Amino acid sequence: MKIVVLLSAGRHPVSGAPVLPRMEAQAIRLTTALGEAVGLHAGPDANAVREALGLGLTRIEHIAVADGLDPVPALSARLAAMAPDLVLAGRRGQGGSESGVVPYALAEALDLLLIPDVVAVSGGADTLTFDQSLGRGALRRVAVRGPVLATVHPDAASPLAYAFGKARRGTIERVDTAAVANVPEAVVEERPYRRRPKLVKGAPTGGSAAERLKAATGEGGSAAKGRLLVEPDPEQAAREILAYLRQIGVLAASSKPNR
């Protein structure tokens, strides 16, 4: 089975030093039960991912891509030549351009099935079985035939302990891909987060501003259909509350006649 782990140049959130993103180290851990994996990195410097050699990889292929250029064309060209059965990637980078769209762009370029948020993977003769996180501890088991690209969830197994000897024995190979057009990264405009106003349930989406204001304040719309009771007796108030709850569907309609 051919396995490729995509590697990116991360930055430590405090010191800013080069560091391998944790989810990519977890991806290397997932490959230990499947076979030997190869790391693949596209960037200006391969030293940014050298740490992966001490975490379980024995070989890393480096594609030289200038800083600020899109790595997807170079990665897709190399992956097409390698034809792996399984490609693992982190859900997003760390400390850099954390867009999280690189796995999806590669899957679209190579026409690969993408399975997100994987916490465990096992392989058989013809199929790969993934445990996919659905949030709040829920898992879904997916069995597919390769080739497939999967992103790793933070709840996956912790990375292996760093081994200095393995890091020294590992190798980084420079790979030249076919000529591809390097497209500069898209300029993303950043704005401060602004909470959006909540829509009033039952308020009309059309009409004038005065009508929408009446619906929001209870003077129009569904809120205006209620009855105003001034100092009612408890039995009458209870009947009105039950009638309203049945009207909005909270309680089932009563089949018994009112007494």
Confidence band (pLDDT; 50, 70, 90) for 197? confident
Tell me the mean pLDDT in the region 38-48: 91
Higher pLDDT: 198 or 229? It is 229
User: Which of 10-23 are b and which e, b meaning 16 or more Cβ less than 10 Å from the residue's Cβ?
Assistant: bbeeeeeebbbbbb
Stretch 94-119: mean pLDDT, rounded? 89
pLDDT at 243: 86
Rounded to the nearest integer, the mean pLDDT of the chain is: 84
The mean pLDDT of 58-62, rounded to a whole number, is 95
Name the pTM for this structure. Answer: 0.69
pLDDT band at 17 (very low <50, low <70, confident <90, very high): confident
When mean pLDDT is compared across 87-101, 167-181, 208-222, the lowest value belongs to: 208-222
Task: Decide: residue 171, CB within 10 A, 0-12 exposed, 13-18 middle, 19+ buried.
Answer: exposed
Concatenate the DSSP letters of all residues of 219-238 into one string: SSGGGGGS---SS--HHHHH
| Listed range (17-31, 138-152, 184-198, 235-249) with the worst mean pLDDT | 184-198
For residues 41 and 7, is the Cβ–Cβ distance under 8 A? yes
Instruction: Read off the pLDDT of each residue in 65-93 and give the average, rounded to a whole number.
Output: 91
Closest C-alpha among 180, 182, 175, 185 to residue 40: 175
Residue 77: enclosing H or E segment and its boundaries?
helix 72-82
Higher confidence at residue 41 or residue 146?
Answer: 41
| Band of residue 257 on the pLDDT scale cut at 50, 70, 90 | low
- How sure is the predictor about 124, in pLDDT bands with cuts at 50, 70 and 90? confident
pLDDT reported for residue 204: 58
Token pair recorded at residue 179: 């000529």
pLDDT confidence bin for 179, thresholds 50/70/90? very low
Res 139: pLDDT: 93
